[in-house]
Amino acid sequence: MVDMRDVWINWFEGEENGYNVCEFFEWRNDDKIELLDQVVVVKITSDLFYHIENNLAELPDELLNDVYQKSYLRKNNQRIQLDYCFIATDGHGIIAVDTLGYKTPIRKSRLTPRQEQIVYELVENLDSKEYPIDGLDLGKEYHSLSLNPAYMNGLTRKERQLKQLLFMALDQLYSTRNVAEVRYWYTEWQPTKYSEIHSMSFEEVWESLYEELKHGWTNQHYHLCEAIVKGQPFFEKLWELEHGESVK
């Protein structure tokens, strides 16, 4: 293990999927950027890196012991010791982690391009340390509240957030089991299929809508999202936070 100094990080909290831990070029002016005065860097296997990046499962005890209280946050001219904070890399990807004292990677961040380059240089001649982990599962299951990365590829931060919101609303729609409502929204999405849709069962309609919505992000996705969240205060608030204005 090696140390780095003066590392700027932008924590994304409670994110299960790596695509929601935004790269530096997607950081925003209103993001809360913090400075790690000192942080330990660990080189790990690609399997464990994927597990950390795309899960909120417990980290190996041995890894937690290795990084315990070896990193510090700089805040208001104070040096604050952090229990389990570190930068992990497999030599191909990089992610910063802070567990907030727990055993799971609650907060995750990318680094600036310059600091990423420094990490790669620091670990270039180091071997990856093997950390045994119980229940390491690389066959992760994705669903409406945790979309497969393939359906987020190429989207901007705003598009990913709105797509996630759309599928949260779709998941709630599924829980209502209201066939008339789900037929209505599928007709909004595919108006030319009106007759066909009204002869389909709830499961058939919902599955068709899900399968068609999961690909890409278009103006049609955008307008359906805007319409489907209207009148639902929680979803409207998320829309406003991401979009910067109220639902029309």
Secondary structure string (H, E, C) spanning 30-93: CCCEEEEEEEEEEEECHHHHHHHHCCCCCCCHHHHHHHCCCEEEEECCEEEEECCEEEEECCCC
Mark residue 50 as left, alpha or beta (left: phi above 0; alpha: psi -120 to 50; beta: remaining): alpha
Give the percent of the chain with pLDDT over 70: 96
Q: In the predicted model, is pLDDT for residue 77 greater than 80?
A: yes
Residues 60 and 165 in one domain: no
Residue 242 confidence class, pLDDT cut points 50, 70, 90: confident
Provide DSSP, 10-35.
Answer: E-EET--SGGGS--GGG--TTS-EEE
Residues 112 and 203 in one domain: no
Distance CA 99, CA 107 (A): 6
Average pLDDT rounded to a whole number, residues 112-132? 94
Residues 80 and 184 in one domain: no
Residues 7 and 119 in one domain: yes
- What's the Cα-to-Cα distance from 137 to each of 48, 81, 140, rounded to whole Å? 10, 32, 6
Domain that holds residue 239: 149-243
Distance CA 149, CA 227 (A): 25
Residues 6 and 117 in one domain: yes
For residue 144, what pLDDT is reported?
84
Mean pLDDT rounded to a whole number for the chain = 92
Residue 133 lies in a domain: no
Distance CA 77, CA 111 (A): 22
Residue 135 lies in a domain: no
Residue 138 confidence class, pLDDT cut points 50, 70, 90: low
Residues 74 and 116 in one domain: yes
Residue 39 confidence class, pLDDT cut points 50, 70, 90: very high
Residue 31 lies in a domain: yes
Average pLDDT rounded to a whole number, residues 77-98? 96
Residue 165 lies in a domain: yes
Residues 23 and 65 in one domain: yes
Residue 213 lies in a domain: yes
Average pLDDT rounded to a whole number, residues 99-115? 96
Distance CA 237, CA 165 (A): 11
218-240 tens-digit pLDDT: 999 999 999 999 999 999 999 99
Distance CA 87, CA 70 (A): 11
Domains contained in the chain, number: 2
Residues 187 and 230 in one domain: yes
Residues 116 and 192 in one domain: no
Average pLDDT rounded to a whole number, residues 85-89? 98
Residues 117 and 153 in one domain: no
Residues 119 and 157 in one domain: no
- Record the tokens describing residue 181, joined without a space: 């409502």
Q: In the predicted model, is pLDDT for residue 93 greater than 70?
A: yes
For residue 143, what pLDDT is reported?
82
Q: In the predicted model, is pLDDT for residue 2 greater than 80?
A: yes
Residue 136 lies in a domain: no
Residue 9 lies in a domain: yes
Average pLDDT rounded to a whole number, residues 200-214? 95
Least confident of 64-78, 128-142, 151-165, 190-204: 128-142
- Record the tokens describing residue 62, joined without a space: 């041995």
Residue 129 lies in a domain: no
